[in-house]
Amino acid sequence: MNLFDGLYPYEVLLAILGILLFLTLLALLVVQVVRAKPYGTLLGFFALPIVMIGYSSIQKITFQDGAVTIDKTTEQLQAAPTNAALRSNLETQVASLSSHPTSNPSVLTSIAKAQFALGHSADAQTNLRKALRTSPELPAALTLKQRIDTESAITSLAAQLAEHPNEGTRQKLEDAVAQAAPLKIASPGFLAHMAIAHAALGDKAKAQSFADKALKIDPNLAEAQQLKNLAASPAAK
């Protein structure tokens, strides 16, 4: 484990200098004691390295706590995808945590999960690839990869079915939609693709439900007009 993971370069430097200064002062203290010379004045100098090390340690703990918090907020947003306050809170947490230099696959996966929930699919995939390079069997990363792959399959199959309707493609799309059914989806893009997929399969009620959620989160989606048409159509299966 990298003890300095998540710390900015200046925080790492501060910690290293603090450790070196502490060891130097400790050596001087031992020398003074061995020589039976006064050392009281020397003790006061220990406050500086302790503060330096302590500051970096607090920043490390704050970073680790941030990874735990972002997971909780992501789960909350997935349970309530149209909650604007939760979404804004998660955006802030992602911006804060992702600004830290980290190679920790668990933290990278937490950031990627949050980014995907917010609809930042490209950023999520970038961080997920980094996590999987370091830890290819990490369960949380593999679960997220499956979620991303499911959305990609639904998007592709829905487009294929709309352009070239056939029973084989329909069956594949139905299977992909069934796989996504138990997922709690917060990404407006994923919601939009679910709406389009259900519409392609003829389930207008579910298409409208997903379209309404997607548009409430982001009325300016690329698929906005298509979703508005779905939402305006009669809810009938």
Q: What is the pLDDT of residue 202?
A: 87
Residue 52 predicted with pLDDT over 70: yes
Q: What is the pLDDT of residue 231?
A: 58
Domain edges within the chain: 9-136, 146-232
- Max distance between CA atoms of the chain, in angstroms, equals 93
Cβ of 28: how many Cβ atoms within 10 Å? 13
Q: Which contacts qualify for 152-158: CB closer than 8 Å, 24 or more apart?
A: 154/180, 154/193, 154/194, 154/197, 155/193, 155/196, 155/197, 157/197, 158/193, 158/196, 158/197, 158/200
| Type of residue found at 20 | L
| pLDDT averaged over every residue in the chain | 90
Q: Does domain 146-232 have CATH number 1.25.40.10?
A: yes
Helix (H) or strand (E) holding 87: helix 84-98
pLDDT in tens, 77-126: 999 999 999 999 999 999 999 999 999 999 999 999 999 999 999 999 99
Length of the chain: 237
CB 66 within 8 A of CB 87: no
Q: What is the pLDDT of residue 37?
A: 82
CB 162 within 8 A of CB 199: no
